[in-house]
Amino acid sequence: MTRFALTLEYDGGPFMGLQRQPHGASVQQAVEEAAFAVLGEQATLHAAGRTDTGVHALAMRAHIDVAKAITPFRLMEALNARLRPNPIAVLACETVPDDWHARFSCIGRRYRYRIVNRRAPLALATGRAWPIARPLAANAMNDAAQVLVGHHDFTTFRSAHCQALSPLKTLDALAVRREGEEVLIEAAARSFLHHQVRSMVGCLALVGQGKWTRADLAVALEARDRAHLGFNAPPDGLYFVAAIYPGENQ
């Protein structure tokens, strides 16, 4: 049995999320079905993250265990051929030790949220960004975001359906910057709660529009109560950017 690490890029729009779902298509199902067509055996996909409906990935790390003899390059090429026309691509494939696990060996995860800040509607970025017509003060958003950096109880920013054992998380970085008409939010942590990034982005958007201040965000955090949340940003603008593992460049 050989363990192959995969790097996946996908558009989350057509899927109910990464994980298999009983009520709709998932990235996991698509990759596992492609693997079965290529290998003639069942292979379970294990991923570094569990993206929700409509959330995208630039470089999701995952792994499958394979009994058939096949090279990483041939496996990658065959999976890509079988995945069409699904908006999923295997960007890289390599063999890894049996004790390497896409989820449990991961020591860091990075997300990016993309806002298009203009009055004109989206044409090319529909489903891949959050359009906000009202001008956003990116500097104020970045200043307020620092309130959330560090070790905190993130109950306010946690989905009611979150299965994590504890709301305590350490947010390593949260940065907001403007690039032309886009406002980009970058978040880094070892792990995140369900909906945590989208919840933080929704509140930062309120700051950017002048409806909240840095102090309001601090009050929401300290409340440890979902009722104090501004709102969740939509999934369209959220991207899983990278998974970090020991010994890899960070």
DSSP secondary structure of 120-149 = SPPSSSTTTSEEE-S---HHHHHHHHTTT-
Q: How far is CA 52 from CA 19, 65, 122, 244, in A?
A: 8, 24, 22, 20
pLDDT band at 249 (very low <50, low <70, confident <90, very high): low
Half-sphere exposure of 12 (CA within 13 A, CB side): 24
- d(CA 218, CA 207) in angstroms, rounded, equals 12
What the chain holds in terms of domains, given with CATH numbers, is 2-96 (3.30.70.580), 108-244 (3.30.70.660)
Rounded Cα–Cα distance for residues 31 and 90 (Å): 9
Residue 53 CA, chain-centre distance (Å), reads: 11
Q: In the structure, what pLDDT confidence band is assigned to residue 250 with cuts at 50, 70 and 90?
A: low
pTM above the 0.85 mark? Answer: yes
Instruction: Identify the pLDDT of residue 161.
Output: 78
Residue 228 pLDDT greater than 80, yes or no: yes
Identify the pLDDT of residue 159. Answer: 86
Contact (CB, 8 A) for 26 and 18: yes
Average pLDDT, integer, range 57-77:
97
The pLDDT-based confidence of 163 (bands split at 50, 70, 90) is confident
- pLDDT-based confidence at residue 22 (cuts at 50, 70, 90): confident
**Kind of pairing, strands 108-117 and 130-132?**
parallel
- Active site residues per annotation: 52
How confident is the model at residue 106, as a pLDDT? Answer: 97
CA–CA gap between residue 167 and residue 10 (Å, rounded):
29
Question: Token pair 């946690």 is at which residue?
Answer: 158
